[in-house]
Amino acid sequence: MKRKVIRITTIPMSLNILFPGQLKMLSEEYEVVAVSSPGKELDEVGRREGVRTVAVPMERHISPFKDLVSLYRLVRLFRKEKPWMVHSHTPKAGLLAMLAAWMCGVPVRIHTFTGLVFPTAVGMKQRLLMATDRLTCACATLVNPEGKGVKRDLERYHITSKPLRIIGNGNVNGIDLSYFSRTQEVCKTAATVREEGCITFCFVGRVVGDKGMNELVRAFLRLYAQHTQVRLLLVGPFEDELDPLQPDTKQILLNHPAIRFMGWQSDIRPFLAASDVFVFPSYREGFPNVVLQAGAMGLPCIVTDINGCNEIVQEGVNGLIIPPRDENCLYEAMYRLATHPEERESMAQQARPMIANRYEQHDLWNKLKEIYQAQIKK
């Protein structure tokens, strides 16, 4: 009989985006159950990965009463399923799942930190977030930081004294290079998006303040004032309830003739293939998949000097690294790559090989399987 593994994230979008192919791979050796809040993307995960799914409502923001209800539901689920392992990702799912798994005596409890919120918080909010992360770690039998930056912050803030192990070179799923490539079909679709004769910058992700959207739009407006042959593609959803943009930012990106807001897209490859530079001015990350994906598609990347991004990009080799929340530095980086085609092309040539050498998906999957196997031997 296969050992049962429950993989859990707070929202179904995380399960869907972070782990394509991974749950299916694990189900060859384990009985895998995918858990998240309800949503059509959870059903999509079940169909694509061939695993059973269970919906448990969870709130991303702090909501004491609803969090207690979610904890109760997880305890009931774990007592019913009797898993050998619970492996959680994302903050709220990590806290609730590790606590519920500890209460139920689940033998193996792994939490992967894909990003930390507390380093950029202040005051009481920071202390509360640190306390919840410490509780998550206390209930886990194994703590896995997604990258070196996350590991460094966990140690620096004394979140846990448990050993911290990064899988491979970082990231939770690696990159499928056969999928993220400029196939004939992808390039054909990209041709319908691209404006010939223009330098196109692309952002993919949640279109929110925390991703640096306000700075990006202002920097682009300055660039466009000098070079009208630049374009900006924005691919991703708004999150007006959790992290709304400044009102003028949203109006500009929806109405400016050189900015195209594409919304959520199930396949981002044509938009990356239609672009010249990927720009990702986020305030905080764990180890962003989308920067790996852009690199695999051969794009030089402008990223902020934050966890994950500064591990993927080497300054001046496959992209540029700028301080977060700095509109001027962002503008200067965009201006530099817009006006120096030889440097831009040199970085583009380095982009895919650097991703392939460090983050190939099957290499990471093998490392993950080794970690799971090691828990059996304990």
CATH number for the domain spanning 160: value is 3.40.50.2000
pLDDT number for residue 61: 86
Q: For residue 268, is it within any domain?
A: yes
Q: What is the mean pLDDT of each run of 10 residues along the chain (378 residues)?
A: 97 94 98 97 97 97 93 98 98 97 98 90 92 98 95 96 93 95 97 95 96 97 96 94 89 95 95 98 92 98 96 97 98 98 98 96 96 90
Same domain, 100 and 230: no
pLDDT number for residue 82: 98
pLDDT number for residue 159: 97
Same domain, 312 and 188: yes
Q: For residue 20, is it within any domain?
A: yes
Same domain, 198 and 213: yes
Structural domains counted in the chain? 2
Same domain, 317 and 262: yes
pLDDT number for residue 62: 84
Same domain, 209 and 153: no
Same domain, 85 and 200: no
pLDDT number for residue 377: 78
Give the range of the structural domain holding residue 78, as residue numbers without chain letter. 4-174+361-377
Same domain, 212 and 348: yes
Phi first, then psi: give them for residue 264, nearest 5 degrees: -70, 135
Question: Are 265 and 235 spatial neighbours (Cβ–Cβ below 8 Å)?
Answer: yes
Q: For residue 179, is it within any domain?
A: no
Question: Are 311 and 193 spatial neighbours (Cβ–Cβ below 8 Å)?
Answer: no
Mean pLDDT of the chain: 96
pLDDT number for residue 9: 98
Q: For residue 21, is it within any domain?
A: yes
Same domain, 295 and 307: yes
pTM over 0.75: yes
Question: Are 158 and 179 spatial neighbours (Cβ–Cβ below 8 Å)?
Answer: no
Same domain, 351 and 365: no
Same domain, 161 and 298: no
**326 vs 337: CA distance, rounded Å:** 17
Same domain, 126 and 215: no
